[in-house]
Amino acid sequence: MTGPRGQLRAYLAFQAKDFLLLRASLPTAVVVMFAWMMIATVQLPADGWESPQGRMIARQVFDMLSTMFVLAGAFLGVARIVSDDRSNGYYRFLFSKPVSMCAFYMQQWIVNGVGLVVLIGLLASLFGALTVPVPVGAAMQVMAVTWVLVGGVGFALSVGTNYDVPVLVVSYVGSSVLHSLKDSPGSAMAPWMRQIVRVTMPVQHVDHVRAALFAGNPLPLAHAGIAVAYGALFVVAAVVLMRRVSFAR
């Protein structure tokens, strides 16, 4: 296995290990712990999980845990994905061989995203096997849409600044609050402010996607499309920045 492509494939196992141990382990452990506590302690009727009460509890817990995993996984999956190597000087080792920097980090971004989607599918399937069937496919689709949006914005921020984590958190929370204020009945938000809010992270569209899928409805393509397109633009911006801006800074 020679050449840049061969070297890039050689990093794949390292990147998968980095994802599993350093990024996915914490949200997985938290979700498994809470799920185990619920399953071990909940008081159910004689019919168990198959009773109406059991099904209701299982779905409520599933919705809560899956939402927790999706957000935590997306943030941890992209946190300092580029800036950590830059600030610690790891790039001198990583790119001492003929490997494209853009290709390396795009591969890492894809590995993390696919890993999160597969992992939430496995966790949801396990939860459903222990309780009642839950919408595994819905959880995977929500994870995918959230990853492209949050992971895309976080990717560009990590390329552009060493303070990507706080900026990403503030951007997400601020966008969520501003969209809620804008869309609330009788909102007094000024027209100029509404125009500014429109270009912030469209987190409300992810909320629509999650609500629709968890309610058993088809994927709302309009909402998903806006969230995915917004995140994809930031992925493109990240690639452009990596090619045009000095990495060592």
pLDDT score at 239: 96
pLDDT score of 96: 58
What is the structure's pLDDT at 1? Answer: 42
- In whole angstroms, what is the distance from residue 38 CA to residue 225 CA? 35
Alpha-carbon span 100 to 148, nearest angstrom: 22
Which burial class, exposed, middle or buried, applies to 2 when counting CB atoms under 10 A from its CB (0-12, 13-18, 19+)? Answer: exposed
Per-residue pLDDT of the chain (249 residues; tens, 9 = 90+): 455 566 788 899 999 999 999 999 999 999 999 999 999 999 998 899 999 999 999 999 999 999 999 999 999 999 999 999 888 776 666 665 668 889 999 999 999 999 999 999 999 999 999 999 999 999 999 999 999 999 999 999 999 999 999 999 999 999 999 999 999 999 989 999 999 999 999 999 999 999 999 999 999 999 999 999 999 999 999 999 999 987 665
Which amino acid, residue 4?
Answer: P
Nearest to 147 by CA among 60, 13, 246, 19: 19
Alpha-carbon distances, residue 20 vs 63, 188, 213 (angstroms): 23, 46, 27
Q: Measured at the alpha carbon of residue 154, what is the angle toward residues 152 and 156, in degrees to the nearest 5?
A: 75
Structure tokens at 239: 């690639």
